[in-house]
Chains A and B, each alone.
Chain A
Amino acid sequence: AQSVTQLDSQVPVFEEAPVELRCNYSSSVSVYLFWYVQYPNQGLQLLLKYLSGSTLVESINGFEAEFNKSQTSFHLRKPSVHISDTAEYFCAVKGGGADGLTFGKGTHLIIQP
């Protein structure tokens, strides 16, 4: 079985500042890792994913995440946030086989002007 821990329920940052949203997972098998974003009153959208290959993955809107197997982490970063990045961010893990995704409890990113 897998589990995901998002260490911060809320992260307030000022606009144009850098941000890191932390995610740690546990799994006994190889994993796929995902970050999903949920804007206010909307469903979840895939932000980025790690399946294999390069441990650093990037999204089209400037976010990146690095898979660190030794630390079982998949932290999400952005060097300079914008007010439009205000949203709930969910880290998720999929283990091998038929299991669906296991989600963390989410981190609310609050951008302050």
Chain B
Amino acid sequence: EAQVTQNPRYLITVTGKKLTVTCSQNMNHEYMSWYRQDPGLGLRQIYYSMNVEVTDKGDVPEGYKVSRKEKRNFPLILESPSPNQTSLYFCASSQLGELFFGEGSRLTVL
């Protein structure tokens, strides 16, 4: 089954404790992206990757890092999380402009 898988689905952490949200897709898509969803703001792009070893900033990249060492994986790294990064995060991969989303990761930073 074609899918995008994110982990963890839910996480509560404290300010400053580094965390990684993993994302993996099995559709051989070159393009992958991370979004955050906040009430009243819709989805905003954090980072995206056109292919292996190629990443670029989206609209709200501050406080995040990504890497793309393999085509299927695109982890999102929060080196020092802060409460304003409490949000619902979605990973997506794309073919011909159509995005396929993961189920989402709800992150709470205390």
Contacts and interface: CB of A to CB of B under 8 A. Distances in A.
Interface of A: 6, 9, 32, 34, 36, 42-46, 49, 51, 90, 92, 94, 98, 100-106
Contact of A98 (B50, B99, B100): B50
For chain B, give the interface size range.
20 to 34
A68 B44 CA distance: 25
B90 A51 contact: no
A53 to B, nearest CB: 14
Given A43-B104, A100-B31, A100-B48, A34 B40 contact: no
B43 A103 contact: yes
A90 B43 contact: yes
Contacts of A45: 101
| Interface of B (DSSP majority class) | strand
Contacts of A44: 43, 90, 99, 101
B97 A32 contact: yes
Residue with the greatest number of chain A CB neighbours at <10 A, chosen from B94, B97, B101: B97
Contacts of A34: 97-99
B70 to A, nearest CB: 20
A61 B74 CA distance: 32
B41 interface: yes
B45 interface: yes
B42 A104 contact: yes
A90 B103 contact: no
A100 B94 contact: yes
